[in-house]
Structure 1
Amino acid sequence: MNIILKSLLVIATFVFCHYIMKSFWGSEWTKILTQADASTDVLFIPAKYLFLYTPLLVLTTLLFKRRNMLDAIGLNTAGFNNYTFAALLCCIPMTLGYAYLSNNLNLSLSGLITGSIYAGFFEELIFRAALFGALYRFCRWGFIPAALISSVVFGVGHMYQGGDAVSALMAVAVTTVAGTWFAWLYCECGYKIWFPMWMHIFMNAAYGIFSMSGGAVGDLHGNLYKATAIVLSIVYVEALIRRGKKREVTMSSLFINTSAATLNTPIKPQMTAAV
């Protein structure tokens, strides 16, 4: 199967999962799960994510047939603790800034689970490891086209955060850029979701706990604090590279990924020094 057919297969499978699988999700399941978790969505959200996107996850593991299944979908646990600690350090200044700006606290456990933990885990697993990962690592797309196609879909999914047409488009633009940044973190952290996942979770958690306003777009002061987390994440990746980690996204891989190291070869352990 050539690269074009493989790319079409990945995209067609994603479209099938994202748009068509919904028609197979019966309303009875929604009713049962909603009643079971008292309308908190703690059971409903993971069940629906797994139902909708399992075909894409299965395809990704089959494409990377020479790899361990966990490697194929970014769940290799090597470096998990270091990535967790690094993400926590990166998000502390933003969290303190949000605490300073906020007058309200939202300490809902179910809200933290559904809005932060589930969002961070499933969105990084599906959009970065499965969709972006298959296009960039297996189909040899360059970083820019592979990141854009996954990030635009990711961004469109946040359109609801805009109150009107302009703010909705701004929400899409901001989350598209965020998706591209997460894709870069995923690449540079050994094709594992842990660092972008924890950044995603901690940033969402800080936003929700301190009831920040402005949706995905945010406001000026909130965005300044958010920028500290982004900058520190870049500093962390650059520190890993200075300590000997291979740079994964280079000028030569922006539009066509010609690196043989990313295709069906065993993953070598990556250095995972904390910030």
Structure 2
Amino acid sequence: MSKNIGFFSIFILGFITYYFFDLFYFKNIQQFFKEIFHSKAIAHVMAYTITLIPLVITSKILSPTKSISSLFSLDKSIIKGFTLAFLGTSPMLIGYGIHFKISTAINIESLFINTISSAFFEEIIFRAFLIGTLYRFTRLGFLSSILLGSLLFAQVHLYQSQNSMELIEIFAITFLGSAFFCLDLY
């Protein structure tokens, strides 16, 4: 019992540290690197990389013998990951194509940030660290780990809503999407 309390204490403290570090410093770190590299995309990757440090430290404390790539599932098949991502996001892409006018002006940096960088780091944070750690190292089980992690993932995306209906839609889409992308963990 004491071991479980210690594990959850470290896990929760690590995630909370990451969350507040990201909340309060991400934009400042991003701005700092944007001034150095004159690239929003590089600055975005650097800010995410630095704000992930609390999760890396927490993971190594919880499982000191495993490699970082193993702890964050970076040693898995890239083809399998991209296939799952393509299958999971295709309905959204088709829906956007039907309901919205396709822009002819493409900003490569924005495209990179919104389609690759943000998605990659969200997978690291929520699927690999949060849900993956709960599933692999606790007795919560697969379904409970997914439900808990997906609820949190959906909650952090609610800022994107403008009204009650959008709030419900964003919650449903992000919750279900998060659960879908956990299929790779099992």
Tell me the TM-score normalized by structure 1: 0.56
Distance 1:96 1:75, change over 3 A: same
CA distance in 1, matches of 2:108, 2:172: 30
- Superposed, 1:44-193 pairs within 5 Å as 44-77=43-76, 79-85=77-83, 87-88=85-86, 95=93, 98-99=96-97, 102-105=100-103, 107-183=106-182, 185-188=183-186
Structure index of larger Rg: 1
Match of 1:238 in 2: none
- Superposed, 1:199-214 pairs within 5 Å as none
SS of residue paired to 1:59: helix
Q: Is the CA contact 1:64–1:138 (under 8 Å) kept in the aligned structure 2?
A: no
Structure 1 gap ranges (5+): 189-275
Q: Is the CA contact 1:21–1:52 (under 8 Å) kept in the aligned structure 2?
A: yes
Q: Deviations over 1:179-208 (max 9, x none)?
A: 12222x2313xxxxxxxxxxxxxxxxxxxx
CA distance in 2, matches of 1:135, 1:111: 33
Using the TM superposition, give the Cα deviation of residue 129 of structure 1 relative to its aligned residue in structure 2, in angstroms: 0.5
Match of 2:7 in 1: 6
CA distance in 2, matches of 1:132, 1:90: 18
CA distance in 2, matches of 1:108, 1:145: 40
Using the TM superposition, give the Cα deviation of residue 27 of structure 1 relative to its aligned residue in structure 2, in angstroms: 7.1
Q: Deviations over 1:47-75 (max 9, x none)?
A: 22222221112322342334333111100
More helix by percentage:
2
Aligned residues: percent identity?
23
Cα RMSD over matched residues? 3.0
CA distance in 2, matches of 1:21, 1:133: 20
SS of residue paired to 1:65: coil
Using the TM superposition, give the Cα deviation of residue 102 of structure 1 relative to its aligned residue in structure 2, in angstroms: 4.6
CA distance in 1, matches of 2:147, 2:92: 26
Aligned residues: 184
CA distance in 1, matches of 2:27, 2:16: 21
Distance 1:68 1:35, change over 3 A: closer
Query: Greater relative contact order (Cα 8 A, min sep 6): structure 1 or 2?
Result: 1
Distance 1:52 1:94, change over 3 A: closer
Match of 2:17 in 1: 16
SS of residue paired to 2:159: helix
Structure 2 gap ranges (5+): none
Distance 1:141 1:74, change over 3 A: same
Q: Is the CA contact 1:7–1:135 (under 8 Å) kept in the aligned structure 2?
A: no
Tell me the TM-score normalized by structure 2: 0.79
